[in-house]
Structure 1
């Protein structure tokens, strides 16, 4: 099992730092909403959505490229946090299913579906990207050990399942969440089936092309 890094207990932020953290969270939430709706939107649309001046936004994120990279990196960290938590479940199958449900509810993979290829990833993301692969493989290994996960399913299939759910949209956020959970339930049922799957499984590196800038 991958070891989670140990960090010292965090001290409460001072008033100024706490406010800065809140402001940054508001900007990232606004950026997520804006760029999921239109990946080509200008950075000024994020400032307007967040209710901050464009100069204040540029002080934190000097370009749209940096903001997009930060947004996706934040999504990877959220994914890893859920995956690490799932490894604490004593039942490998329940751990995998609970992980899938939480990640779909958080809509983490919508960023991958909509923003891949809109910015250039950098080296700062590599450790978290590597960790996501390792921890997902471990979740799949533990689910296989229970005998409930179909033998030919691999950890890259998990990514395809999550992206399939993230691709479902609706003008009503609540309805989109309901439909994603419905489709996830159908896909989870398929993970326990013994019906042969068509074609070979996804391979490492097969989806790297989409992160390349056009």
Structure 2
């Protein structure tokens, strides 16, 4: 089948795209460190004028939704890649976990849940991401490579625990997260383990954190 190469963006559009990425990277760094920071702190970190930022994102809430939407899209892409992977179920599952930790999508959940009101698009993306996570989890569980008593909601808590590992040095943070992920993976793969204490988190317990109080 013949494929077409997308036309290159004009200089002005390419610059706008670069500016947008700079703003989003700055916003992620600012709001993960301090969810209560003003949007002016994003403009300062990005090196753009506040008016230029507002032309792209009219409010802090819109910017937060965009950050979380981008994080969900990354999670969705990784889950879809795992479902398309035909290797043995444990390798697929473990590598999916490693890639999600590398993507650091759950730093957004950990720090931004409850600080803004998600819209319908974000809820739809979240539901789709969850449906894919269920399929990744169930494939591993049905293959008998996961510890008895686990549920897919346990994965969210694992990712958030690892996202909470944060040191001043970024490379050291990544190294430490993977150190503890490997310990956790050993526990998840312990198919002859004793029952886990208490039930897994319910969807209501996980979803309630996104309600703005």
Same fold (TM over 0.5): yes
- Taking a change above 3 Å as real, the CA distance of residues 118 and 94 of structure 1, as seen in their structure-2 partners, is same
- 2-structure distance, mates of 1:10, 1:41: 41
Q: Any residues of structure 2 matched to 1:92-111 within 5 Å, and which?
A: 92-111=89-108
Runs of 4 or more off by more than 4 Å in structure 1? none
- 1-structure distance, mates of 2:4, 2:156: 32
Partner of 2:186: 189
Contact 2:151–2:200, Cα closer than 8 Å, also in 1: yes
Displacement of 1:92? 2.2
Q: Any residues of structure 2 matched to 1:74-153 within 5 Å, and which?
A: 74-90=70-86, 91-153=88-150
- 2-structure distance, mates of 1:151, 1:75: 30
Partner of 1:58: 54
Displacement of 1:142? 0.9
Partner of 1:46: 42
Residue range with higher mean Cα deviation, 140-149 or 11-20: 11-20
Are 1:69 and 2:68 an aligned pair? Answer: no
Partner of 1:3: none
Displacement of 1:13? 4.3
Contact 1:166–1:180, Cα closer than 8 Å, also in 2: yes
- State TM-score, norm by structure 1: 0.92
Partner of 1:161: 158
Displacement of 1:19? 2.1
Contact 1:93–1:142, Cα closer than 8 Å, also in 2: no
Gaps of 5+ in 1: 1-7
3-state SS of paired residue (1:198): coil
- 2-structure distance, mates of 1:118, 1:162: 20
Displacement of 1:116? 0.6
- 2-structure distance, mates of 1:12, 1:81: 24
3-state SS of paired residue (1:87): helix
Displacement of 1:27? 0.5
